[in-house]
Structure 1
Amino acid sequence: MEPFSFASSSALNLAVNVKINSLDGYQKPIPFSVLLKDPELRHRGSNLSPNSELYVTAQLWADSKPLTVPVQTAYKTFKTGRRWNEWLTLPINYSVLPLSAQLAITVWDLSPTGGEGSHFHAIPFGGTTIPLFDKDNTLQRGKQGCRVHRHKAADGLSTTKTPFVIHPRRNRKDAGPGVDGMDERVRELERLEGLLKKLEMEEIPQNPWLDQLVFRKYAQLEQSVLKERPRRVHRVTGQLKDGRNNAEDGSGGSDEGEDEEKFYLHIEFPRFDHPIVFTDQEYPPPPISSFKLPGGASAEVRLRPPPEVSFGPGINIDAAGYGDSDAGPLIRIYDPEVGLRNNPAEIKHNALIRGDRSAVMARDAKPNNKERDDLKASSGY
């Protein structure tokens, strides 16, 4: 068995950091009919320029409750693409993080007229929620590609509606070859992302010549998936139609959200030399002398002598402490009421035993009807 080295999260007294790298995606042009119905969309920053000034906020949540205040990226103008390359430090350490901690990241757009979910002149461009610990209770490391849900702010709830990964739907018989091919490309893209992450973490050997071919293939596949025009299936006609035309003529598809624009936010977590495994925070037990009697009584406490314990064969009682490898599977249990008061379970048990015995004696002492008749006959009544 190969040795495995890891560290515990409770011993990591470092602030939580996340790097916001870039935002990739293809935004469809808004149809003229939609602009006529909602002219405020003309003034939204992302609709004016594909490289508009967006900013990102990150906030930690756990059990559907916020753990920290949100932190945001600095103002930055973009020329060719939305790339921040900025580290954000959250005001909390890894040592106090619960297992359910997750990072809610929201990309904010600017609009002078506001809108649904707006905060002053900022409206959500999209949001994503990523847990800090994976399914193996190990801290996330390295680069992550998060799916951005358009026009939604990251909720950070336990049952989040903005997950960072959306698994492809299963193939349906009436979906046609277009949807099947799209799902296959998404699966292949996710598989390549996992391999590239392992390559960055040096978990698989590097081959410069072959790696360049994989990088080129990954870039082409990503561009084709992002720029693929969304398509949806109609249950009435059974034909594939353009999602944009469906939005214009008002004919809804079979599933909502299939025609959503695909945007991915690339972030990066710190890399550590060893995997960080989640561990609960252990607190030392309070001393027995700090126990207060009910009612504030300051009576003198008389400690009972420790009970006599006979150890079985093979148990090393001279070990330095409990839990030693030579001492056997012993567990130390702390009881704050030891030596201060009687055990209520023992008192109740003794009372029940005494009551049971006294009831049996009283029942045996009382004569029944036959014995009562015999006593009357013998006494002459």
Structure 2
Amino acid sequence: MDKDNRDDFTFAKLSDLKFPVTFRISQLEGTRHARPFTELLEKPELRFQGVQQSGFSDIYVTCQLVADNKPLTIPFRTSFKAFKKDYIWNEWITLPIRYCDLPLNTQITLTVWDIAGPRSATPVGGTTFRLFGKKWTLRRGKHRLLLWPDREADGAMETTTPSKMSTRDEMGRLEKLVKKYERGDLPKLDWLDAMAFRKMGEIHAAETEKSNNLFLYIDLPRFDFPVIFSEPEAAPVASTSTATPVIPVPPAAVQTTNHLSADQHLWAIVDPDLAKENPVEDKHRRLVRSHRSSPYDRELKPNAKIRDELNELLNYAPSQPLTSEKRT
């Protein structure tokens, strides 16, 4: 957007982005609590979980793109990392699909897993993140996703594990202001910004300590302009002067082929009579010319040439001339 002229708005189309979908899994925020002793008495196998360890457990994150309750890619997971202080990955994930091929309702499912025992894992929490906003714009920048504890991300259209909730906290309000600051919507002042970010760090630490929720932070690419969802335009069908015969397709063949082949509005149908003369248009042009050059006469009879043409159109034999009756 031009700062001098607020009426001008610059954006990019999603169909022009030929790059693969990429995002970064940053870190996990929140406090994980160990299982209570009474629960361990009922289920002794829970004592082998990573949350029961004194240090940091070997957790990892799996992600997948879904749309219309169907997966678009195979699941991907983060590499092994030994955590010492915080759960920080800072790992970029590149999915084998391009931005221009994404549907509007594309979602990212993210699930954090922990050790549950030998060769088994248990979900720490899951979340479903929509890749496009309400105004059909591709999301960008840093996002804080709410993790639903002990649940795997479902990825459904009406998901039960949404990444955003209606409840608002102080940290959520400050993160929205940070996004405006990074976009350039807020004025920048170096000495004041340093004090503000230092205070925000203190608030963030206090909110994380007293909150019972787990949050997963991800970073999406920051494009120079807003990216609006758009589908690629169809290539124009080249018109041919020669007539191409249309081969009828049996109903049995239509049922066994792809559903796209049965969708008739996607394909151009060649008319074999397109190159021939249209008798209706020819008659209309002759009537217009006759109206301009001579008075209109309802009793005007066709000449011999027009009579023969009409006989051919009506499939009459040459020995049976077309007779015209006088109108009353």
Q: TM-score, normalised by structure 1?
A: 0.61
User: Alignment partner for residue 277 of structure 1, among 205, 220, 228?
Assistant: 228
CA pair 210-101 structure 1, distance change in 2 beyond 3 A: same
Aligned residue for 2:101?
96
Structure 1 residue ranges, 4+ long, deviating more than 6 angstroms after superposition: 288-291
CA pair 167-43 structure 1, distance change in 2 beyond 3 A: same
Contact 1:5–1:274, Cα closer than 8 Å, also in 2: yes
CA pair 154-55 structure 1, distance change in 2 beyond 3 A: same
How far, CA to CA, are the matches of 1:228 and 1:37 in structure 2?
29
Q: CA RMSD in A?
A: 2.4
Alignment of 1:230-245 (within 5 A): none
CA pair 217-8 structure 1, distance change in 2 beyond 3 A: same
1:198 and 2:203 aligned: no
Aligned residue for 1:130?
129
Contact 2:63–2:110, Cα closer than 8 Å, also in 1: yes
User: Alignment partner for residue 81 of structure 1, among 73, 79, 86?
Assistant: 86
Query: Which secondary structure does the structure 1 equivalent of 2:62 belong to?
Result: strand
Once the two structures are TM-superposed, the CA of residue 108 in structure 1 deviates from its matched residue by 1.1
Contact 1:148–1:263, Cα closer than 8 Å, also in 2: yes
1:165 and 2:116 aligned: no
Once the two structures are TM-superposed, the CA of residue 267 in structure 1 deviates from its matched residue by 0.5
Once the two structures are TM-superposed, the CA of residue 264 in structure 1 deviates from its matched residue by 0.7
Contact 1:142–1:201, Cα closer than 8 Å, also in 2: no
Aligned residue for 1:302?
273
Aligned residue for 2:169?
187
Once the two structures are TM-superposed, the CA of residue 8 in structure 1 deviates from its matched residue by 0.3
How far, CA to CA, are the matches of 2:171 and 2:182 in structure 1?
16
Aligned residue for 1:268?
219
Query: Which secondary structure does the structure 1 equivalent of 2:173 belong to?
Result: helix
Structure 2: which amino acid aligns with 1:269? Answer: L
Query: Which secondary structure does the structure 1 equivalent of 2:196 belong to?
Result: helix
- Where in structure 2 are there 5+ consecutive unaligned residues? 1-5, 251-270, 282-328
What whole-Å deviation, never above 9, does each CA across 1:55-91 have from its counterpart, x for those lacking one? 1111001111111111111111010001001100001
User: Alignment partner for residue 43 of structure 1, among 30, 48, 52?
Assistant: 48
- Where in structure 1 are there 5+ consecutive unaligned residues? 114-119, 169-185, 230-260, 309-381
User: Alignment partner for residue 246 of structure 2, among 268, 292, 297?
Assistant: 292
Contact 2:245–2:272, Cα closer than 8 Å, also in 1: no
Alignment of 1:5-20 (within 5 A): 5-20=10-25
Aligned residue for 1:151?
150
Once the two structures are TM-superposed, the CA of residue 285 in structure 1 deviates from its matched residue by 5.2
Aligned residue pair count: 251
How far, CA to CA, are the matches of 2:54 and 2:96 in structure 1?
34
Once the two structures are TM-superposed, the CA of residue 227 in structure 1 deviates from its matched residue by 2.8
How far, CA to CA, are the matches of 2:245 and 2:111 in structure 1?
48
Alignment of 1:104-123 (within 5 A): 104-112=109-117, 120-123=119-122
What whole-Å deviation, never above 9, does each CA across 1:40-69 have from its counterpart, x for those lacking one? 221111231452111111100111111111
Query: Which secondary structure does the structure 1 equivalent of 2:156 belong to?
Result: coil
Alignment of 1:221-260 (within 5 A): 221-228=203-210
Once the two structures are TM-superposed, the CA of residue 280 in structure 1 deviates from its matched residue by 1.6
Contact 2:67–2:105, Cα closer than 8 Å, also in 1: yes
Structure 2: which amino acid aligns with 1:301? Answer: P
Contact 1:24–1:264, Cα closer than 8 Å, also in 2: yes
CA pair 291-228 structure 1, distance change in 2 beyond 3 A: farther
Aligned residue for 1:213?
195
How far, CA to CA, are the matches of 1:187 and 1:264 in structure 2?
13
How far, CA to CA, are the matches of 1:264 and 1:25 in structure 2?
6
Structure 2: which amino acid aligns with 1:277? Answer: I
Query: Which secondary structure does the structure 1 equivalent of 2:272 belong to?
Result: coil
How far, CA to CA, are the matches of 1:291 and 1:149 in structure 2?
60
CA pair 275-301 structure 1, distance change in 2 beyond 3 A: same
